[in-house]
Amino acid sequence: MLFFKESLKTPSVSSDGAVHFDNIKKHAEIDFSIVNLYYKDRETNVRNHNFFVRLIKQLLSDVTQEETSYLEEVDRQLRSIVRMFKITSEYSKGEPILSLFGDTVMLFEKSFLNPFDVTEDINVMKCVYSSSTDLGMNHPSKIENGHYMFMLDIRALMIQYKRWSLERLEVGDHNLPTLFVYQVLYTNVIKDLFDFALVNRFFDAMGEIEDSDPKHPFHIRDYDKRVDKAFDDLFEKLAFTNRYYTEVFSWIPTCFSDNALTLLKRPVYDDNNNTKIFTYLSNSIILNDAIFLLSENGFKKNRDIITAYKYFFRDLVKNKYIEHFNFKDSKLYILTESLVNDTKLITGE
């Protein structure tokens, strides 16, 4: 059972429950257009030893060759590269990256785009989990804290790099991967990170949330107070109610997706234990937040998903997969330990 599979129907939400989020969304879109333009025009490089720079260089062939041949060369190397870089895939268990941005980053290799449809503004690294509540729209090169999980389409990434390179070479500019990662790959992730921060702020509404910390050389709006006020009201409306977990997520507004449920939906990836575990893990913390929001009133209605969730974590610990996640301060580690040691925590039994 996949918690947020694409086939899930979005529940209908009555208009009286809608959060007045239109102005926040409009302003976020305006601010992102400024952020996007600034970082994509900026001639700044990440370091040569950056994970994605090394990945691109390892796969790189002649960017001037025909795209089909270029992609065939990428495909020929893909399996060995994924293992070499310890990226989770159907043929590689994967490990956290500790020196990319934030505290840890986990990557899952999967082709989810048509590479020939990729433009410079397409995000080829979809965020599937973020622990951050920061609404500063910060460039990933400036992110210092948090745990993140991404689904990376390497085939689309390499076509995107090839097309970006050709455009720059035509006007006499250099096409270093260090610049591409800064300008394109990282900048395109910002919208996903912002939406995940919104969802996290909703579930943390009753706790203390750190102020966002925009790190731009220009001004963007302060979203914290407006978002938190809207979410306080919505949290009170949804807490301790008898609802399906999908309904909770369909009520949470986001700025660059229709709502939280749309943000979290993805295809079913269960080729084997590696892909299944990564997909389940990326859903688990946010699902746990929803179950606790509903509390005992929601346990019965969500019994099937809770049971699947509980047994998944038992298997996770039994197979020692959690040992690959060496971030013991994270919600994922705390959640796993709690579920294994106290089944009452989620079943209410």
pLDDT at 295 over 90: no
Where is pLDDT greater, at 91 or 129? 129
Per-residue confidence band for 255, with pLDDT thresholds at 50, 70 and 90: very high
Distance CA 18, CA 234 (A): 8
The per-residue pLDDT for 105 is 87
Does the pLDDT at position 344 exceed 80?
no
Domain residue ranges in the chain:
15-29+194-205+219-347, 43-190
Residue 7 contacts residue 269 (beta carbons within 8 Å): no
- Mean pLDDT, to the nearest integer, of 115-144? 95
Residue 346 is predicted with a pLDDT of 41
E strand map for 270-337: none
104: which 2 tokens?
Answer: 């840890």
d(CA 26, CA 127): 22
How far apart, in whole angstroms, are the C-alpha atoms of residue 322 and residue 186?
Answer: 27
Residue 148's H or E segment, with its range, is strand 147-152
CA distance 303 to 343: 13
Pairing of strands 104-109, 147-152: parallel
Q: What is the pLDDT of residues 26-57, one digit of tens each?
A: 999 999 999 999 999 999 999 999 999 999 99
Confidence of residue 286 (pLDDT cuts 50, 70, 90): confident
Assess contact for 293 and 30: CB atoms under 8 A.
Answer: no
User: Is 335 exposed, middle or buried (CB count within 10 Å of its CB: 0-12, 13-18, 19+)?
Assistant: middle
How many C-beta atoms surround the C-beta of residue 49 within 10 A?
9
Q: What is the mean pLDDT of residues 150-178?
A: 94
Please count the residues of the chain. 349
Q: How far apart are CA 3 and CA 311, in angstroms?
A: 14
Confidence label for 319 from pLDDT (cuts 50, 70 and 90) = low
Mean of the pLDDT values across residues 81-87? Answer: 93
**What beta strand segments (E) does the chain contain?**
104-109, 125-130, 147-152
Instruction: Tell me how crowded residue 170 is: count the other CB atoms within 10 A of its CB.
Output: 8
Of 178 and 267, more confident: 178
| Strands across the sheet containing 104-109 | 104-109, 147-152, 125-130
Confidence of residue 348 (pLDDT cuts 50, 70, 90): very low
Structure tokens at 332: 């994922």
Higher-pLDDT residue of 310 and 4 is: 310
Is the whole model's pTM more than 0.75, yes or no?
Answer: yes
- The end-to-end CA distance of the chain, in Å, is 22
Range 147-158 average pLDDT: 94
Which three-class secondary structure state does DSSP give residue 126? strand
Instruction: Please determine, for residue 276, whether its predicted confidence score (pLDDT) is greater than 70.
Output: yes
Lowest mean pLDDT among 30-44, 87-101, 230-244, 275-289: 275-289
Instruction: Flag the least confident range among 52-66, 117-131, 256-270.
Output: 256-270
Residue-level pLDDT at 177: 96
Q: Region 84-91: what's the mean pLDDT?
A: 89
- Which residues on neighbouring strands pair with residue 92, listed in sequence order? 89
